[in-house]
Structure 1
Amino acid sequence: MLINHYSVFIPISLLDSVDRQFDYILRGCHCSARSLARNMAFEGSMKDRGEVRIHESLDELSTDLADYIAELSEVSVKEHGVFTVALSGGSLINLMRKLCDAPYNKTVDWSKWYIFWADERVVAKTHVDSNYKLAKDHLFSKLPIVPSHVYPINDSLTAEEAASDYKFVIRQLVRIRVINVSNISDCPKFDLILLGMGPDGHVASLFPNHSVLEEKNEWVTFITNSPKPPPERITFTLPVINSAANVVVVATGGGKAEAASMAIDDVGPECLGLPARMVQPGVGKLVWFLDNEAASKLKRFS
């Protein structure tokens, strides 16, 4: 199959991907032909590093991301009655804001959403640095999400205490089967973990060369010396992230192009310790949402 003008050959092995992409168009996702071709071509060659979706604009990325999240929500609710989602903060929340618009605000079953944080700053919920505040202001206040289904950290505790408390909350929800358990570990299996990526390749509050990357036993841990302020944070560990059914990593802007290349391309063993590259779901699906600038140094499109 040949897409004219852009001359991207789509092998037989990508027919399923073609069906999915054209289904997005029929459902109203206005992706450009060039972006569509690039996404499909890249998807077939990224078995180890997941599926990569490259977008012409932030608006296009935001629409595709909303489509993807809504689709996962529908599947999860049909399969087991709930949709468990863990968020990070930063620009990711702004890119999710299309979920507040039609058709998603009416068609998504928001009553089945259970929301957690893959990482959080240990500050008051009203503080400008709070990931909870950011999500509440831009998402929760505009959607019919059940307030008791939202699980912020206990901001009255120290970082260490908050991490322990959050782990206890998650364990209780695993025990009553709100959150599934991974088949390959004893970790919780969230339906979706949404992550941003920093210019240094950090995800959640897992920073390069930090000892927390070696944590294998805890579900939630803490740091008191974050390279980015504020210094005290709690974060999911890599085993929990890699036990999720679906992981999405979003990166936009030229400042993240080098980290995206190191995380996605086969660029040598020196990149193996990059946190974003260590996101490798055991049996789940990993999808990267990039704009053109963040994808500009990927080998396949440079």
Structure 2
Amino acid sequence: MNRNVRITLHPSYDVLAATTAARLITRLLDVQSERGEATVVLTGGSVGIATLKAVAESPARLAVDWAKVNFWFGDERFVPADSPDRNAGQAADALLDRVGVDPARVHVMAAADAVADVEAAAADYTAQLAAAARREWDDEDGSGDAPAVPRFDVLLLGLGPDAHIASLFPEMSGIRSRGVPVVGVTNSPKPPPTRVSLTLEAINTAQEIWIVAAGADKAAAVGLGLAGASPVQVPASGARGVNKTMWLIDQEAAAKFPEQLMRRDT
């Protein structure tokens, strides 16, 4: 197993969400103390949104300068802006509307009623990422070619029972995409069928990737993801942060992986 991969076991879903929230607050504080601002990529899903709610409910959230946190999304359902299925809306309700973020720093993927099609939504997000990357590059040294995406300090990922991450599904074109940071996804095996997603290349630019998974239905995916399977068949196995990759899982999700290889949080 790669040295920068860390596996942490939690006794329950609630402890997983609360502990991940505490980790995120601490990481944002550390990055802000170093660089003045921090950037996080959010995920949807039940445990992802539960984590954001736990952040909003933590007294420690007051230590973060939320006006200097940049927010991006790993994927989005291509549905109308007012749909309850939108990750952006769920994240706003759980955290973003509750802690005083700067709206200009919240970068959402275009909704189905805002652009012509999913490819236009992917192109729009690609442009947003490139613009932010250029601003960062100019701030740092003002020379050379900017990367396709800005610096991601923490990138959160959920995990599907089929080991998909973001909206990158096994054997589908999205997980095979190269040379682009964002793709449109059609015929998703999980409804809704049309989505927008960061590619694996973009995901793996993150300084730290945190894969958060809970429930017995995720156990097989956790086992396969940590066993080094091909990312085309097991997308989660391909997620590797520049500095660290963390698998944060509850007891049920850990059922098919050797417990002695995990660090236990209580």
The TM-score by the shorter chain falls in which range? Answer: 0.7 to 0.9
* Larger RCO, structure (CA 8 Å, separation 6 or more): 2
RMSD of the TM alignment (CA)?
A: 2.2
Is 1:90 the counterpart of 2:45? The answer is yes
Aligned counterpart for 2:186 among listed residues 204, 219, 224:
224
Question: What's the CA shift for 1:289?
Answer: 0.7
Following the alignment from structure 1 to structure 2, what is the Cα–Cα distance between the partners of residues 255 and 203? Answer: 15
Q: How far apart are residue 270 of structure 1 and its match?
A: 6.3
Conserved? CA contact 1:263–1:276, under 8 Å: yes
* Distance in 2 between residues matched to 1:80 and 1:179, nearest whole Å: 15
1:168 equivalent to 2:127? Answer yes
Q: Is 1:51 paired with 2:10?
A: no
Contact 1:84 1:179 in 2 (8 A): no
Letter in 1 for 2:182: V
- The answer to whether 1:104 aligns with 2:60 is yes
- Measured in 1, the distance between the counterparts of 2:170 and 2:236 equals 9
Q: SS at 1:177's partner residue?
A: helix
Q: Matched residues in 1 for 2:183 and 2:18: separation?
A: 33
Q: Which has the larger radius of gyration?
A: 1
Report what 1:131 is aligned to.
87
For residue 299 of structure 1, report the CA deviation from its aligned partner: 2.7
SS of the residue corresponding to residue 14 of structure 2 reads: helix
Three-state SS of the structure 1 residue aligned to 2:254 is coil
Distance in 1 (CA, whole Å) between partners of 2:101 and 2:88 is 14
Q: Note closer, same or farther for the CA distance 1:180–1:243 as it changes in structure 2 (3 Å cut).
A: farther
Q: Is the aligned partner of 1:299 residue 2:258?
A: yes
Query: Which amino acid in the other structure matches residue 171 of structure 1?
Result: A
1:241 match? 203
The alpha-carbon deviation at position 47 of structure 1 amounts to 3.3
Task: Write out aligned runs for 1:206-217 (5 A).
Answer: 206-217=168-179
2:99 to 143, 157, 165: 143
1:73 corresponds to 2:28: yes
1:104-128 CA distances to partner (integer Å, 9 max, x unpaired)? Answer: 3311111111111110011122102
- Closer, same or farther: CA 66–178 of 1 in aligned 2, 3 Å: farther
Other structure's SS at 2:192 match: coil
Percent identity, aligned pairs only, is: 33
- For residues 200 and 231 of structure 2, what CA distance do their matches in structure 1 show? 16
* Post-superposition offset of 1:96: 2.6
Per-residue CA deviation, residues 14-54 of structure 1 (Å, 9 max, x unaligned), is xxxxxxxxxxxxxxxxxxxxxxxxxxxxxxxx535710110
Asked if structure 2 preserves the Cα contact closer than 8 Å seen for 1:82 and 1:178, the reply is: no
Deviation at 1:215, TM superposition (A): 1.1
Q: State the partner residue of 1:202.
A: 164
Whether the 8 Å contact between 1:84 and 1:190 is mirrored in structure 2 is yes
**Which residue of structure 2 aligns with residue 116 of structure 1?**
72
Q: Which runs of 5+ in 1 are unaligned?
A: 1-45
- Identify the residue that residue 215 of structure 2 maps to in structure 1: 253
Distance 1:97 1:178 in 2: 33
- Measured after TM superposition, the shift of residue 86 of structure 1 is 1.1
Contact 1:66/1:99 (8 A) holds in 2: yes
In structure 2, C-alpha distance between the alignment counterparts of 1:143 and 1:177, rounded to whole Å: 24
Match of 1:191 in 2: 153
Shift of 1:225: 1.2
Number of residue equivalences: 251
Query: So what's the TM-score if we normalise by structure 1?
Result: 0.78
Distance (Å, rounded) in 1 between the aligned partners of 2:166 and 2:23: 20
CA distance in 2 between counterparts of 1:130 and 1:179 reads 33
Separation of aligned partners in 2, 1:187 and 1:199: 30
